[in-house]
Amino acid sequence: MIKTIASAILLLLLFTLSACGQSSHRIAFFQYKFYDTFISEMMDYMTARVPDNIDFEVRDAGNSQSVQNRQILEMINNDFDILIINAVDRLASSSIVSRSTQDNIPVIFFNREPLDDALLGNANVFYVGTDADSLGRKQAEMVAELFTRDFAGSRFDRNNDGIVQIVILKGEQGHQDAERRTENCIARLMQLGFEVDVLAIEVGDWNRHDGYKAMRNLYARFGDFIELVFSNNDDMALGAIDYLLGAGVFIENRPAYEQPFIIVGVDGTAVGLEAIERGLLYGTVNNDSVKQSDAILTLIDFILHDRDFADFPYTITRGHYIYIDGDIITKDNLADFTQ
């Protein structure tokens, strides 16, 4: 994937961290589960760029908040300097911050946005992530550009009723990003002048295996009525594609707009981009893992060395939130993201 942050910023960061390490700092990364393609890409990127003079540990919670709580407490008790946390449950963020601030340990949350009360009023507590509303809106805008306002009677209007029949693969019930992506993709498509009919919303738990099962169930129920699939992430979209290929519904290396219906995702993972190249996924919205990772690494540098945040190269909203927007990716601009 293209590295969207200016290389000079990252080189300056790495030089600064490497140059000032007479004594080693210790940081800890916590991920909610290993088998999440997007999180794994972020973790690989960040840990590969931690300077040699900083010791770091990585803990995987296996999707258990109780396990993650124990892991965090272990690192607090071992005097780690910063905790970088992809929380299992955002509702646990307040208690995590309450405990870490007792020992004056800064916390950077990423990917799963904490409740406001965990961040506001607490020094050196941050969130780095995407604007979930924007991701959903851009999914709709991508589709609108393809369908145009002449959807009725087009090849995409499979039943010739002038209405877009949609199924949605949702990450998690109640997860703030899943809810906001889902709400905004529908609302934006309607705002752009399309009449929509949401046939069903199926939870796929962000992963490929459950995306496969969700698509199998949806296709058994709705079959030829499906005209558009909005997936909250690429992995669930890929699971849906796995089922459709196996069932002979989708065909390899046919242009995505010539498949029986359109599927769009979110994330811009390597496997998602490959599916666009193969004509299976029409497009995705880049949940910019590189830029988010660089923002986290830069935050680490500023916190460890007590730098002036007036010089911080990213916009900080309400003193704690760093939101990274993403771009629409289709076959037309795929080369920009695969160099």
Residues 154 and 147: beta-carbon distance below 8 Å? yes
Is the pLDDT assigned to residue 20 strictly greater than 70?
no
In degrees, rounded to 5, the angle at the alpha carbon of residue 179 between the alpha carbons of residues 132 and 321 is: 35
Residues 68 and 95: beta-carbon distance below 8 Å? no
Is the pLDDT assigned to residue 283 strictly greater than 60?
yes
| CATH code of residue 224 | 3.40.50.2300
- Average pLDDT, integer, range 151-171: 93
Residue 161 has what pLDDT? Answer: 94
- What percentage of the chain reaches a pLDDT higher than 70? 93
Whether residue 336 is contained in a domain is answered as no
Give the E-state strand segments of 131-250 in sequence order.
164-170, 196-203, 228-231
β-strands 328-330, 283-286 pairing: antiparallel
Are 69 and 156 in a shared domain?
A: no
Q: Mean pLDDT for the chain?
A: 91
Q: In what order do the strands lie in the sheet with 54-60?
A: 54-60, 25-31, 82-85, 107-110, 125-130, 321-324
Interatomic CA distance for residues 142 and 151, integer angstroms? 14
Is the pLDDT assigned to residue 22 strictly greater than 90?
no
Are 37 and 64 in a shared domain?
A: yes
Residues 130 and 325: beta-carbon distance below 8 Å? yes
Whether residue 330 is contained in a domain is answered as no
Residue 23 has what pLDDT? Answer: 55
Residues 26 and 81: beta-carbon distance below 8 Å? yes
- What percentage of the chain reaches a pLDDT higher than 90? 84
Whether residue 2 is contained in a domain is answered as no
Interatomic CA distance for residues 315 and 86, integer angstroms? 21
Are 253 and 156 in a shared domain?
A: yes
Residue 55 has what pLDDT? Answer: 95
Is the pLDDT assigned to residue 206 strictly greater than 60?
yes
Residues 92 and 118: beta-carbon distance below 8 Å? no
Residue 21 has what pLDDT? Answer: 43
Range of the domain at 232: 132-286
Residue 149 has what pLDDT? Answer: 65
- Average pLDDT, integer, range 171-196: 93
Are 157 and 97 in a shared domain?
A: no
Whether residue 106 is contained in a domain is answered as yes
Whether residue 108 is contained in a domain is answered as yes
Whether residue 86 is contained in a domain is answered as yes
Q: How confident is the model at residue 326 (pLDDT cuts 50, 70, 90)?
A: very high
Is the pLDDT assigned to residue 224 strictly greater than 80?
yes
Residue 281 has what pLDDT? Answer: 98
Judged by average pLDDT, the poorest of 19-28, 45-54, 131-140, 256-265 is: 19-28
Q: In this predicted model, what pLDDT tens digit does every residue of 68-125 receive, in sequence order?
A: 999 999 999 999 999 999 999 989 999 999 999 999 999 999 999 998 999 998 989 9
Judged by average pLDDT, the poorest of 35-44, 214-223, 240-249 is: 35-44
Whether residue 305 is contained in a domain is answered as yes
Which residue, 334, 333, 330, 324, is CA-closest to 4?
324
Residue 151 has what pLDDT? Answer: 84
Place of tokens 């991508």: 142
Whether residue 276 is contained in a domain is answered as yes
Interatomic CA distance for residues 26 and 131, integer angstroms? 30
Total domains in the chain come to: 2
Is the pLDDT assigned to residue 312 strictly greater than 60?
yes
Residue 18 has what pLDDT? Answer: 44
Instruction: Name residue 50's amino acid.
Output: V
Are 139 and 281 in a shared domain?
A: yes
Are 126 and 268 in a shared domain?
A: no
Does residue 66 or residue 4 have the better pLDDT?
66
Instruction: Name residue 226's amino acid.
Output: I
